[in-house]
């Protein structure tokens, strides 16, 4: 058999092997079988030394032609396999553009946050600044500077968590009053929202951690009348223009005189209903004119300056506004509950 025939045979069996190879691995096996170091074509090249010198160029040409022919077949087959694989992959990963898009789940503001933003909006509208104080506070600021000396029974009423003898988790936002007054920038018109702590058992109306919003105004000639006007305005903005306010005498160590404020029930308009427990009124906050002792301890001359203060429970406002009957719901963070507001 002459060389030409032999090469044709090799090319033909290469074609068959390549056709049979249905994966890149099999195709590579075919390549090695014909073009590899021990491949059939390589064997022929090795036997060139037995070819007579005058025939060598011709035979060499034939071998090269066979080689490039086989390479071409391999390359074509490789392309075909790749295209088929891609096709297969695209079929598997097909995207149905008519399907509804996945919506990113947006968070939701907590009822406390909504209520706080409402209160802030009202007071900022009246020219108040919003400030913050530390949750871990000196007993000095939480009590002493607010006219609650050591061993005063009012300390027991606001039993809280002590870090050591002189540092505690604040039981009220009132210490922010002392901190702002001490800075000595007058006049003052501020509200201070924040978390407070008490050693209370959890029930429908109590939690060891809740929120208050403190208010403080200090200027020349501030009177109880300013306090009444301000809080009346606040109550109307928060609960509706028909809302009436009632100031009941009370005692707080840091204000004198002091009062608790009730608003007319916004459910029944004051006639008495289940919501206001038949009284027509709902208690919302404590307030008063700042005690001269407090002013003095915070470096302000009570002969020159006077002021008023108030403290609102944020949860109380949120519970009232959204008619929630159990405070614990505010802390459970059940998305089905929170989504309603």
Which residue number, 133 or 286, has a Cβ lying nearer to ligand DAH? 286
The least CB distance from residue 301 to ligand DAH, in Å, is 20
Residue 32's alpha-carbon distances to 13, 26, 105, 169, 203, in angstroms, are 13, 10, 56, 79, 81
The least CB distance from residue 313 to ligand DAH, in Å, is 8
d(CA 290, CA 218): 8
Which residue number, 239 or 252, has a Cβ lying nearer to ligand DAH? 252
Pairing, β 255-264 against β 245-252: antiparallel
The least CB distance from residue 319 to ligand DAH, in Å, is 17
Among all residues, whose Cβ is closest to ligand DAH? 311
Instruction: Find tokens 């614990």 and name the residue.
Output: 328
C-alpha angle with apex 120: 181 to 159, nearest 5 degrees?
A: 60
Which residue number, 67 or 155, has a Cβ lying nearer to ligand DAH? 155
- Interface residue list for ligand DAH (CB under 6 A): 172, 174, 214, 252, 255, 286-288, 309-311
Which residue number, 67 or 291, has a Cβ lying nearer to ligand DAH? 291
Spatial strand order of the sheet with 306-313 comes to 129-130, 188-197, 209-219, 306-313, 281-290, 255-264, 245-252
d(CA 179, CA 299): 11
The least CB distance from residue 279 to ligand DAH, in Å, is 21
The least CB distance from residue 162 to ligand DAH, in Å, is 17
Which residue number, 39 or 175, has a Cβ lying nearer to ligand DAH? 175
């Amino acid at each position: 058999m002459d060389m030409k025939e032999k090469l044709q045979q090799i090319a033909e069996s290469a074609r068959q092997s390549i056709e049979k190879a249905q994966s890149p691995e099999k195709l590579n096996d075919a390549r090695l079988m014909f073009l590899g170091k021990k491949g059939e074509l390589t064997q022929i090249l090795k036997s060139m030394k037995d070819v007579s010198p005058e025939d060598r160029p011709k035979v060499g040409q034939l071998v090269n032609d066979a080689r490039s022919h086989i390479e071409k077949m391999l390359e074509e087959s490789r392309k075909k396999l790749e295209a088929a694989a891609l096709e297969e992959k695209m079929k598997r990963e097909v995207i149905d553009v008519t399907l509804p898009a996945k919506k990113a789940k947006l968070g939701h503001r907590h009822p406390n946050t909504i209520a706080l933003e409402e209160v802030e909006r009202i007071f900022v509208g009246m020219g108040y600044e919003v400030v913050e104080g530390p949750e871990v506070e000196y007993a000095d600021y939480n009590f002493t500077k607010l006219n609650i000396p050591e061993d005063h029974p009012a300390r027991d009423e606001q039993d809280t968590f002590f870090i050591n003898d002189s540092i505690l988790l604040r039981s009220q936002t009132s210490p922010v009053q002392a901190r702002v007054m001490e800075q000595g920038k007058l006049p003052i018109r501020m509200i201070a929202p924040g978390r407070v702590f008490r050693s209370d058992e959890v029930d429908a109306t109590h939690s060891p951690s809740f929120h208050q919003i403190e208010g403080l105004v200090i200027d020349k000639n501030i009177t109880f009348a300013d306090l009444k006007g301000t809080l009346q305005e606040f109550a109307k903005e928060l609960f509706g223009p028909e809302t009436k306010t009632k100031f009941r005498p009370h005692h707080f160590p840091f204000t004198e005189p002091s009062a608790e404020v009730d608003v007319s029930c916004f459910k029944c308009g004051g006639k008495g209903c289940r919501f206001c427990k038949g009284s027509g009124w709902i208690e919302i906050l404590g307030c008063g004119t700042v005690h001269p002792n407090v002013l003095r301890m915070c470096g302000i001359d009570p002969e020159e300056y006077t002021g008023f203060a108030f403290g609102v429970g944020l949860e109380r406002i949120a519970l009232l506004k959204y008619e929630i009957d159990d405070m614990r719901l505010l802390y459970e963070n059940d998305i089905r509950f929170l989504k309603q507001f």
